[in-house]
A and B are shown apart, each in its own frame.
Chain A
Amino acid sequence: DAGVTQSPTHLIKTRGQQVTLRCSPKSGHDTVSWYQQALGQGPQFIFQYYEEEERQRGNFPDRFSGHQFPNYSSELNVNALLLGDSALYLCASSSDSYGYTFGSGTRLTVV
């Protein structure tokens, strides 16, 4: 059983560009959350999607947006990239409030 799959694994973008990260949840999971993990820090909650709607959002600017598709997969979009957006972006899927499974992440470098 595949767990959470994220793509791409690594990405390099230039300041001001836009990026889209993708996540396929674990089989049986209908909820997808996104986290940003800066170097040397714990993950920070960006937002969660359930039933194709953003259910909860963390303290991130509107440059961060997302989408969930009918098959429960999800995308994270970041516009107008800043150097400070360089981080590991983690996707987590769940079917309840306490059974989160994390993917291996996408390492985004903004230059």
Chain B
Amino acid sequence: AQSVTQLDSQVPVFEEAPVELRCNYSSSVSVYLFWYVQYPNQGLQLLLKYLSGSTLVESINGFEAEFNKSQTSFHLRKPSVHISDTAEYFCAVSRLNDYKLSFGAGTTVTVRA
């Protein structure tokens, strides 16, 4: 079975500052990796995903994540955050040919002016 650990439960950050959300996973087999964002009272929206190929993946709104197989990590970064980035962020893994996503407990990002 795989598990996901998000190392920070809450991350306060000032507007235009960089942010990094840490995610580690454990799995004995190859996995797909995802970051989802959840705004208040809404469902989950996919930010980005790693399936194979380049270990650095980017989203359309400035986030990026790097898959590090040796450290079993998939940390999410953004060089300059906006107030609108205030949300909960979830890291998730799925084993190849498996049908479920296993989520971390989430990281709450609060961006202040």
Contact = CB atoms under 8 A, between A and B. Distances in A.
B36, B44, B94, B102: residue with the most chain A Cβ atoms closer than 10 Å: B44
Given A90-B43, A98-B32, A42 B100 contact: no
A43 B44 contact: yes
A50 B106 CA distance: 28
Contacts of A4: 43
Interface residues of A, number: 25
B46 A100 contact: yes
B99 A56 contact: yes
Nearest to A100: B101
A58 B99 CA distance: 10
A104 interface: yes
B42 A43 contact: no
B100 A103 contact: no
A50 B98 CA distance: 13
B44 A97 contact: no
A105 B104 contact: no
B105 interface: yes
B94 A42 contact: no
13 contacts: A4-B43, A35-B101, A42-B90, A42-B104, A45-B101, A48-B100, A50-B99, A98-B32, A98-B34, A98-B49, A98-B51, A102-B36, A104-B43
Interface of B: 4, 32, 34, 36, 42-46, 49, 51, 90, 92, 94, 96-106
Given A56-B98, A97-B94, A104-B43, 18 more contacts: A35-B101, A40-B106, A41-B106, A42-B4, A42-B90, A42-B105, A43-B90, A48-B99, A55-B99, A97-B96, A97-B98, A97-B99, A98-B32, A98-B34, A98-B49, A102-B36, A102-B44, A104-B42
